[in-house]
Amino acid sequence: MSTPNILLTRIDNRLVHGQVGVTWTGSLGANLILVANDEAAGDPVQQQLMDMVVAEGVQTRYFTLSKTAEVIHKAAERQKILIVCKTPRDVLTLVEGGVPIKQINVGNMHFADGKRQIHKTVSVDEDDIAAFRELEARGIHCEIRRVPDEVGEPISRLL
C-alpha cells in the first residue's frame, strides 16, 4: 500500500463550492477533490451541481466514508488530493479507517439548534467538540481558515 498524496482535508458543510473548487485547489495545486460523504456519494444531482464549480483540470470523486478508507491507499502518486467532509465526526471516521490525515482545515460549519458559534463561520455541538479533541489527541492539527490567504486559527483555542 502506498501513502496517498493528501494535501489537505477540509471540513465544510457545503462540501464543494467556488471557494473549494477553484480557490483552494489552485492554492494547494490539487488535481483531485475527493468528497467523502455518504449522502453526496449517492446523489448524482448534487454531484453535478458541485462539479459545475470545480476548476478545469481538477477531477472529482464522490465516495462514502467507508469506500474512501477502503480505496485511498490505491491513489496514484500523481493525484494531489483535497479531501472534503461535512463534519469533524466524518473526518474522525476516516482517520479511524486508516486514512492518513495530518491536518484539517475547518471552513464552514453552519449554526443550528444545539450548536454554539465559536467563529464567524463555525458553530459546534458537543459531538463536534469531542471529535475535534480526539483528532487533536491523535496529533492532527485542526485550524479554522476560510480562504488560503487568511491566517489559520487553531480550533483548540476556541473550544
Q: Tell whether 19 is covered by a domain.
A: yes
Long-range contacts of 108-112 (CB under 8 A, 24+ apart): 108/11, 108/12, 108/13, 108/14, 108/146, 109/11, 109/12, 109/13, 110/13
Which three-class secondary structure string do you get for 29-82?
CCCEEEEECHHHHCCHHHHHHHHCCCCCCCEEEEECHHHHHHHHHHCCCCCCEE
Task: For residue range 73-125, list pLDDT tens digits in order.
Answer: 999 999 999 999 999 999 999 999 999 999 999 999 999 999 999 999 999 99
| Mean predicted confidence (pLDDT) in 41-49 | 97
Look at residue 1 in the predicted model and tell me its pLDDT: 64
Identify any residues that bridge with 36 across adjacent strands, giving them in sequence order.
63
pLDDT in tens, 20-38: 999 999 999 999 999 999 9
Using pLDDT thresholds of 50, 70 and 90, give the confidence band for residue 2.
confident
Domain for residue 1, yes or no?
Answer: no
pTM: 0.97
Three-state secondary structure call for residue 103: strand
Can you give the pLDDT at residue 53?
A: 96
Percent of the chain whose predicted confidence (pLDDT) is above 70: 99
pLDDT of amino acid 85: 98
Which residues does residue 59 pair with via DSSP β-bridges, in sequence order? Answer: 32
Residue 41 falls inside a structural domain: yes
- CATH number of the CATH domain containing 26: 3.40.35.10
Catalytic site positions: 17
Q: How many domains does the chain have?
A: 1
| The residue type at 115 | K
Domain that holds residue 81: 6-157
pLDDT at residue 140 is higher than 90: yes
Q: Which residue has the cell 492539527?
A: 141
Residue 69 has pLDDT above 80, yes or no: yes
Residue 92 makes CB contacts below 8 A (sequence gap 6+) with: 131, 134, 135
Asked whether residue 137 carries a pLDDT value surpassing 70, the answer given is yes
126, part of any domain: yes
- What pLDDT does residue 33 have? 98
> For all residues of the chain together, what is the average pLDDT?
96
